[in-house]
Amino acid sequence: MTETASNVVVVPGDAAVPARTSAPLPLSLLESIEKHQAEADAKNTSRAYESDWSAFERWCDEHDQVALPAQGETVAAYLADRASLVAESGEYVYAPSTISRWVTSINVHHHREGLRQPGGLAVVKNTLSGIRRSHVRPTRRMAPLLLDDLKKVLIGIDIHSYPAGIIGHRDSAILVMGFAGAFRRSELAKRVLEDVVVHSQDGLHVRMLTSKTDQEGRGSVKGLPFGANPLTCPPCAFLRWVRVLDASQHEPRSAIMKLLREARTDSHICHAPTPELDRLDPKGPLFRPVRRGGHIAPGPISGDVVLSVVKRRLSEVGMNPRHFGGHSLRAGFVTQALRAGATTQEVMRQTDHKNPATVEIYRREHDPLRQNAVTRIGL
């Protein structure tokens, strides 16, 4: 039996009969397929791909080149042109990592259209390799916020006056939980109350349904233990903020002011009853915007708020915020843990890093004296 190009099945000795073909799929299923394909990439990644592709299309229009399908020489010329741009400071405008992402974005767009990916061609690979070699510069990383500096920042936060104490409780919880949990700032911003469970022996269990390294939602649990110091005890910081959050919804202003005045960071509250959690909507966001006058908005904060909290609170205690950001909490945990003798595997258990080499970057850049001969020569 053979099949011809016209979808007709020919059986030797028999008359030709039409081959079976699939019926058209319902529109609802086609829309469902499209929806799931759109979810295949993280939203931020998808936005970056689309932005990169739009920039490539504009460049092709300006230089009379075809963007889809793109020739290897076209992509290589685009990379070389963009790589040559220099800022007033004398530095190249685009880092090699950014230019590499453009190639990925161009490849992704071609792949979606069922076309050959130009990034795999030798002319593109060699051009990109040359750019990496000629544009070598240090990777810009956020400085880690270490434990002593975290304590300094927390001591400087006003949690007693009204209304400053309301946002003070929120920011303290963001800093302590962000550090102890090695959270990315987007992970902190997305947490809802039911993600956090107070555990009688472990402290806090924080459920993570998705993360940067778990886009398919297999899920994990981060443990934030009871701390010896009430100031940096994650369950205490969490419950202090929960009490304020609950009071803002169920108590008059006078009761909130009293709660702030009596707030303590020199004694533990982590083993106290938690009726506040029963009164709050479990699906409500954990960290919320705080407006002028101390009004707590119902929606969640963004990752940019975490960045702002770190920079603002460091500045308030006289630390230069220039090299710090939202990632400084995560970097601070990794660096502090490594300095305390934690193994790479122990660090990865909390950070959910998949590659040990990533953790080693923190050891190399932020703990350069450990196991270093320079400490033995008696300077």
Q: Tell the residue number behind the tokens 């350069």, with chain if given.
A: 368
Where residue 15 falls (left for φ over 0; alpha for ψ -120 to 50; beta otherwise) is beta
Average pLDDT over residues 184-188: 93
Residue 208's DSSP bridge partners are 220
Three-state DSSP class for residue 208: strand
Instruction: Return contacts of 76-79, CB within 8 angstroms, 24+ apart.
Output: 76/123, 76/124, 76/126, 76/127, 78/102, 79/103, 79/124, 79/127, 79/128, 79/131
Q: Write out pLDDT tens, residues 76-116.
A: 999 999 999 987 767 788 989 899 999 999 999 999 999 99
Where residue 182 falls (left for φ over 0; alpha for ψ -120 to 50; beta otherwise) is left
- As given in the structure block, the two tokens for residue 89 are 């400071």
pLDDT level of residue 189 (50, 70, 90 thresholds): very high
Contact indicator for 324, 142 with CB cutoff of 8 Å = yes
pLDDT of residue 26: 77
pLDDT level of residue 23 (50, 70, 90 thresholds): confident
pLDDT level of residue 162 (50, 70, 90 thresholds): very high
Ordered domains of the chain (ranges, CATH): 43-140 (1.10.150.130), 147-329 (1.10.443.10)
Q: Which of 262, 243, 263 is nearest to 251 (CA)?
A: 243
Q: Which of 322, 308, 309, 329 is nearest to 177 (CA)?
A: 329
In degrees, to the nearest 5, what angle opens at C-alpha 50 toward C-alphas 46 and 52? 115
Which amino acid is located at 106 in the chain? I
pLDDT of residue 46: 77
Task: Reply yes or no on whether the pLDDT at 205 is more than 70.
Answer: yes
Average pLDDT over residues 212-219: 53
Task: Reply yes or no on whether the pLDDT at 149 is more than 60.
Answer: yes
pTM, two decimals, is 0.68
- As given in the structure block, the two tokens for residue 379 are 């300077």
pLDDT level of residue 35 (50, 70, 90 thresholds): low
pLDDT level of residue 37 (50, 70, 90 thresholds): low
Task: Reply yes or no on whether the pLDDT at 334 is more than 50.
Answer: yes
Query: Greater confidence, 150 or 208?
Result: 150
pLDDT of residue 214: 45
pLDDT > 90 in the chain, percent: 68
Contact indicator for 233, 240 with CB cutoff of 8 Å = no
Q: Write out pLDDT tens, residues 275-293.
A: 999 999 999 999 999 998 8
Q: What does the alpha-carbon distance between residue 19 and residue 4 come to, in Å, rounded to a whole number? A: 9
pLDDT of residue 141: 74
Query: Greater confidence, 319 or 378?
Result: 319
Half-sphere exposure of 1 (CA within 13 A, CB side): 10
pLDDT level of residue 368 (50, 70, 90 thresholds): confident
Query: Greater confidence, 204 or 362?
Result: 204
Task: Reply yes or no on whether the pLDDT at 259 is more than 90.
Answer: yes
Q: Tell the residue number behind the tokens 């975490």, with chain if given.
A: 306
